[in-house]
Amino acid sequence: MDQPTSEGRARRDIDALVAEMTLEEKAALTAGLDTWQTAPLERLGVPAVKMTDGPNGARGQTGPGGLSLSPSLCMPSGSALGATWDPQVVEQVGAAVARQARDKQARVLLAPTVNLARHPLWGRNFECFSEDPVLSGKLAAAYISGAQGQGVAATVKHLVCNESEFERRTCSSEVDERTLRELYLLPFEMAVRQAGALAAMTSYNRLNRRYVAERADILEGALRGEWGFGGIVMTDWWAAASTLDAAEAGLDLEMPGPGRAFGPALAVAVRQGALKEAVLDDKVRRLLNVFDQVGALDDPPGLPEQPLDRPEDRALARRAAAEAMVLLANDGLLPLRPAGLKRLAVIGPNAEVPAIMGGGSARVSPHYVVTPLEALRSRLEGVEVVFEKGCSQPRSEAEAAALAAAGPGANEQDIARAAQAARHADACVVVVGTNDFWETEGTDRATMDLPGDQVQLVDRVLAANPRTVVVVNTGAPVSLPFAGRAAALLQCWFAGQELGNALADVLLGTAGPGGRLPVTLPERLEHTPAFGNFPAEASLVRYGEGLLMGYRWYEARHLPVRFPFGHGLSYTTFEIGAPRVTPRRLARGGRLSVEVEVTNTGSLPGAEVVQLYVAPPAPGLAAAGWPVLPPKQLKAFGKVHLSPGQSATVRLGLTERDFAHWEVADTEFPVLVGRLAKNDADRQKAGPHRSRAGWYVSPGAYQLQVGRSSADIAHVVEVDVEGGPAPLPVLAPLS
């Protein structure tokens, strides 16, 4: 019998529907009809269900070059959303993108991307949130909650270890089990357990020599068995998959259609007795349950896309972009005071043609684009705003080749004009960066340097006028050799269609720079954790840095960085009070409450992000045989917006999982010890050897480090953690 939903619509009796289906109809549902739709079953009233790319907008139907056939809302990209450190804003963005997906008649959104920013040159860094799994996971959960609240199934992707583009369809990410669990699987776990993601997409790449679409230990073991995932698992588009191995492993849907491994091939496998029909039934049941849950089974077929340009979406895009902008350095030049300006020089290729998004499947045709030059001119009435491009920014292979052929002289006249304009201005704003040619799905970058002559341009402008703001318009880290010489340095990311207005808001002080770095900005590429292990070599991508990825690496190796993870300045000052922690001893199955009072001690409103890191006991865990833990790891954070003189309490919570590490099963150790002579066995010093893999907590005194970044810790509080020899329950509470 059909059951009513909370929205008042009747839910389908899925079991009865599956029982009515023929073998061929069941198999047809497991492969796409075409690029974006699942197969309809008209006889049973099951419509085609449309999907759309994300995550910074809903592309909808695409044409040549992969561009949207109708305009789309273009929100800030993933790394920009990561820089907000604000789950509330990210949830609102997820809801807005999902509304646009509904406008485009789509019920499945292929977002968010929760792979980690392992290496600065990964072409798809802009699309993911952070180098840290906890920040990524919490923001992913917020995005998914927002999207699924609009009747759209969110698809967490790409499962798992898809952190390079080179040979991505064939290469194998070689990752040890502990690193996989503690870093790369964690944001997927949080997306499922904290937000109930309804869909997951497997990655193109192999994981330890096997495609994830064919790995039952990941799909049926971790995803469904441990985390309780009840949604659908689909392939990435045209990804490799087998029929029997993928079917038995837990894959539900091959996209796009027509099917190669699934669809008719599954019907053949069942008829030949190679696959049990019950396995196929489970896939169909999961597909129909998700489609029914979001209301897709009641959608009339064939409706045209009708994307709306909503005023509230414009406002949100502008606010989210400002919340993402990270003030890296400032000697007092910012915010600019229009009353003291007669002439402002706006310089740089990205001032006129900003990069609002990266390339590939995340690229949309925006409703509109506001450029920094347009926004500053419209806001600064009575101020002469002069513009010089300064140098070219290639946007295609042909343009890059032409610029290279022209020769560090092709832009000399443009740079000279820019320096001249800077010399005669009261202040300068230089906007440099990359674009969707340099940062794109399918290709990794070759260098961390800014393309073309942009560094030379910045150097000449800084020499001409020290009152210069350098705005970095990139989605991923770039070299910043001028960082110590710019009066102000602002990272604006790929900030979406409202980039220009948001940038003007921040530069002029009508909005504060709300962002904090979601990634470490290194001094040199050679210092980065994955240097020497990126990209693939002989079809293997070795994750040789293990657990020491991101800020963990730099602290463990005592390496200097340009700007640390979590860093970001404000136009005001804040006092972070001493944390109040209760209880001070964490018993098995218990929780900790951490309260931190934050006060705006300056003269302007602003935002502060309280970051809580957990550091392990020392030196005990560094002893031979015991698990080595990173120096510190982010475990909780909270963002507050305060007026001058205002205070607020940031409340954070921790569970046993925040002090746990993954240990692999070691069943060989007892056998090996048994082969030793008794005296040798008695003399051998040994650490723990677990008979069961799982999350374990080592007892001891842990530090709670509370501060503004991984390198700026204001307070340290010690807590005693009980721990124990038994693993945590499979569904141990997440904070």
Positions marked active-site? 236
Upper half-sphere CA count for residue 258 (Cβ side, 13 Å): 2
CB 195 within 8 Å of CB 145 = yes
Cα 332 to Cα 471: distance, rounded to the nearest angstrom: 15
CB 196 within 8 Å of CB 153 = no
Q: Which residue has the tokens 């606010």?
A: 319
CB 44 within 8 Å of CB 51 = no
**For residue 106, how far is the Cα from the chain centroid?**
22
Cα 177 to Cα 693: distance, rounded to the nearest angstrom: 10
With 0-12 CB in 10 A as exposed, 13-18 as middle and 19+ as buried, what is 667? exposed
**For residue 274, how far is the Cα from the chain centroid?**
39
Torsion on CA atoms 379, 381, 382, 387, rounded to nearest 10: 60
DSSP for 331-356, written as a single string: SS-PSP-GGG-SEEEEESHHHHS---
Torsion on CA atoms 653, 655, 659, 664, rounded to nearest 10: -140
Amino acid at 451: P
Closest CA to 696 of 688, 705, 686: 688
Secondary structure of 684-720 in HEC code, one letter for each residue: CCCCCCCCCCEEECCCEEEEEEEEEECCEEEEEEEEE
CB 650 within 8 Å of CB 579 = no
Degrees, nearest 5: CA angle 514-515-520? 160
Cα 465 to Cα 470: distance, rounded to the nearest angstrom: 12
**For residue 431, how far is the Cα from the chain centroid?**
24
If residue 638 lies in a helix (H) or strand (E), which one and from where to where? strand 633-642
User: Helix 311-324 crosses helix 87-103 at what angle (to 10 degrees)?
Assistant: 140
Q: What is the phi/psi pair of residue 360, to 5°?
A: 100, -150
DSSP for 489-554, written as a single string: EEE--S--TTHHHHHHHHHHTSS------SS-EES-GGGSTTTTS-S-BTTEEE-TTTT--THHHH
How many secondary structure helices (H) and strands (E) does the chain include?
A: 21, 30
Secondary structure of 591-637 in HEC code, one letter for each residue: EEEEEEEEEECCCCCEEEEEEEEEECCCCHHHCCCCCCCCCCEEEEE
Cα 438 to Cα 444: distance, rounded to the nearest angstrom: 8
